[in-house]
Amino acid sequence: MTCKKLVLLIMTAIVLMPTFTYASGSTNNIFQYIDPYVTVEFDEENDFPDETKQRIADQFAGIVSAGQIAGDDTANILCTLFGHKTSETIVGVTHHFVYAHDPRCREDYYNVIACSRCDYTVDEYLTSMDVYCHPENSEM
Ligand SMILES: [Zn+2]
Ligand SMILES: [Zn+2]
Protein backbone atom coordinates (compact mmCIF):
# COMPACT_ATOMS: atom_id res chain seq x y z
CA MET A 1 0.00 0.00 0.00
CA THR A 2 2.64 2.51 1.12
CA CYS A 3 5.01 1.31 -1.58
CA LYS A 4 2.36 1.84 -4.26
CA LYS A 5 1.79 5.35 -2.98
CA LEU A 6 5.50 6.09 -3.21
CA VAL A 7 5.66 4.85 -6.81
CA LEU A 8 2.66 6.97 -7.66
CA LEU A 9 4.31 9.99 -6.04
CA ILE A 10 7.52 9.52 -8.01
CA MET A 11 5.59 9.06 -11.25
CA THR A 12 3.63 12.22 -10.57
CA ALA A 13 6.87 14.07 -9.93
CA ILE A 14 8.33 12.85 -13.22
CA VAL A 15 5.20 13.86 -15.11
CA LEU A 16 5.22 17.31 -13.50
CA MET A 17 8.94 17.90 -14.03
CA PRO A 18 8.84 19.08 -17.70
CA THR A 19 6.07 21.52 -16.77
CA PHE A 20 8.26 23.19 -14.16
CA THR A 21 11.22 23.34 -16.54
CA TYR A 22 9.04 24.93 -19.17
CA ALA A 23 7.65 27.49 -16.71
CA SER A 24 11.06 28.66 -15.55
CA GLY A 25 12.28 28.78 -19.15
CA SER A 26 9.42 30.94 -20.37
CA THR A 27 10.21 34.50 -21.33
CA ASN A 28 9.74 37.48 -19.06
CA ASN A 29 6.62 39.59 -19.60
CA ILE A 30 7.01 42.03 -16.70
CA PHE A 31 9.55 44.86 -16.69
CA GLN A 32 10.02 46.85 -13.50
CA TYR A 33 11.63 50.30 -13.42
CA ILE A 34 12.61 52.21 -10.29
CA ASP A 35 13.19 55.72 -11.63
CA PRO A 36 10.59 56.53 -12.88
CA TYR A 37 8.61 54.00 -10.84
CA VAL A 38 6.85 52.18 -13.66
CA THR A 39 5.78 48.59 -14.33
CA VAL A 40 5.38 47.45 -17.93
CA GLU A 41 3.46 44.20 -18.37
CA PHE A 42 2.89 42.33 -21.64
CA ASP A 43 -0.10 40.10 -22.30
CA GLU A 44 1.07 36.50 -21.77
CA GLU A 45 -0.15 35.53 -25.24
CA ASN A 46 2.43 37.74 -26.97
CA ASP A 47 5.06 36.27 -29.29
CA PHE A 48 7.60 39.10 -29.16
CA PRO A 49 11.28 38.19 -28.72
CA ASP A 50 12.84 39.33 -25.40
CA GLU A 51 14.89 42.12 -27.04
CA THR A 52 11.77 43.56 -28.65
CA LYS A 53 9.90 43.50 -25.33
CA GLN A 54 12.84 45.18 -23.60
CA ARG A 55 12.85 47.90 -26.26
CA ILE A 56 9.08 48.49 -26.01
CA ALA A 57 9.22 48.48 -22.18
CA ASP A 58 12.10 51.02 -22.16
CA GLN A 59 10.04 53.19 -24.48
CA PHE A 60 6.94 53.09 -22.25
CA ALA A 61 9.01 53.70 -19.11
CA GLY A 62 10.42 56.81 -20.76
CA ILE A 63 14.01 55.52 -20.72
CA VAL A 64 14.12 56.15 -24.46
CA SER A 65 11.65 58.29 -26.35
CA ALA A 66 9.82 56.95 -29.40
CA GLY A 67 11.38 59.56 -31.64
CA GLN A 68 14.84 58.70 -30.37
CA ILE A 69 14.86 55.15 -31.66
CA ALA A 70 12.60 55.47 -34.70
CA GLY A 71 14.01 56.59 -38.02
CA ASP A 72 15.09 55.28 -41.41
CA ASP A 73 18.76 55.00 -40.45
CA THR A 74 18.01 52.18 -37.99
CA ALA A 75 15.64 50.25 -40.29
CA ASN A 76 16.71 46.74 -41.11
CA ILE A 77 17.40 46.07 -44.82
CA LEU A 78 15.07 43.05 -44.71
CA CYS A 79 12.24 45.27 -43.53
CA THR A 80 12.93 47.71 -46.36
CA LEU A 81 12.74 44.90 -48.89
CA PHE A 82 10.01 42.66 -47.50
CA GLY A 83 8.17 44.81 -44.99
CA HIS A 84 8.17 44.59 -41.21
CA LYS A 85 7.84 41.34 -39.30
CA THR A 86 5.17 42.51 -36.90
CA SER A 87 3.35 41.04 -33.92
CA GLU A 88 0.58 42.59 -31.87
CA THR A 89 -0.22 42.51 -28.16
CA ILE A 90 -1.77 44.40 -25.27
CA VAL A 91 0.62 46.17 -22.89
CA GLY A 92 -0.26 47.53 -19.45
CA VAL A 93 1.89 50.39 -18.16
CA THR A 94 1.48 51.14 -14.45
CA HIS A 95 2.68 54.50 -13.14
CA HIS A 96 3.06 54.22 -9.36
CA PHE A 97 2.36 56.96 -6.77
CA VAL A 98 0.85 59.40 -9.27
CA TYR A 99 -1.93 60.46 -6.87
CA ALA A 100 -1.71 61.60 -3.24
CA HIS A 101 -4.71 59.53 -2.15
CA ASP A 102 -6.12 56.04 -2.90
CA PRO A 103 -6.05 54.69 -5.50
CA ARG A 104 -2.55 56.07 -5.88
CA CYS A 105 -1.43 54.26 -9.03
CA ARG A 106 -2.66 54.35 -12.61
CA GLU A 107 -2.44 51.69 -15.29
CA ASP A 108 -2.57 52.69 -18.96
CA TYR A 109 -3.38 50.09 -21.60
CA TYR A 110 -2.02 50.13 -25.11
CA ASN A 111 -2.39 47.98 -28.19
CA VAL A 112 1.14 47.58 -29.51
CA ILE A 113 2.25 46.52 -32.96
CA ALA A 114 6.01 46.10 -33.25
CA CYS A 115 8.58 44.67 -35.62
CA SER A 116 10.95 42.03 -34.20
CA ARG A 117 13.69 42.93 -36.72
CA CYS A 118 13.90 46.70 -36.36
CA ASP A 119 12.68 49.56 -34.14
CA TYR A 120 9.33 50.00 -35.88
CA THR A 121 6.61 50.36 -33.20
CA VAL A 122 3.04 51.59 -33.31
CA ASP A 123 1.17 51.97 -30.05
CA GLU A 124 -2.47 52.88 -29.74
CA TYR A 125 -3.74 54.13 -26.39
CA LEU A 126 -6.79 52.13 -25.27
CA THR A 127 -7.81 53.09 -21.75
CA SER A 128 -6.62 53.80 -18.20
CA MET A 129 -7.71 52.65 -14.80
CA ASP A 130 -6.65 53.61 -11.31
CA VAL A 131 -5.16 50.72 -9.37
CA TYR A 132 -4.63 49.99 -5.68
CA CYS A 133 -1.23 48.32 -5.89
CA HIS A 134 0.28 50.82 -3.40
CA PRO A 135 -2.42 51.78 -0.85
CA GLU A 136 -1.90 54.86 1.30
CA ASN A 137 -1.76 53.05 4.64
CA SER A 138 0.85 50.45 3.82
CA GLU A 139 4.60 50.34 3.53
CA MET A 140 5.81 50.50 -0.07
ZN1 LIG B 1 10.98 46.13 -39.28
ZN1 LIG C 1 1.57 51.01 -7.51
pTM of the full predicted structure? 0.73
Centre of ligand 1 to C-alpha 118, Å, is 4
Residue 52 has φ and ψ, to the nearest 5°, of -65, -40
Handedness of CA 120, 125, 126, 132 (dihedral sign): positive
Write the pLDDT tens digit of every residue in 1-46: 566 666 665 555 555 544 444 444 456 999 999 989 999 999 999 9
Largest Cα separation within the chain, whole Å, is: 71
Ligand 2 centroid from CA 135, angstroms: 8
Instruction: State the distance from the centre of ligand 2 to the C-alpha of 68, rounded, in angstroms.
Output: 28
CA-nearest of 114, 103, 106 to 48 is 114
Please give the backbone phi and psi of residue 76, each rounded to the nearest 5 degrees, phi first: -70, 140
Span 46-99, pLDDT tens digits: 999 999 999 999 999 988 765 555 444 556 788 989 999 999 999 999 999 999
Domains of the chain, residue spans: 28-131
Question: Which residues are registered as beta bridge partners of 42?
Answer: 91
Count CA within 13 A, CB hemisphere, residue 28.
11
Is-contact 76 120, C-beta < 8 A?
no
Q: Which ligand is nearest the CA of 70, by number?
A: 1
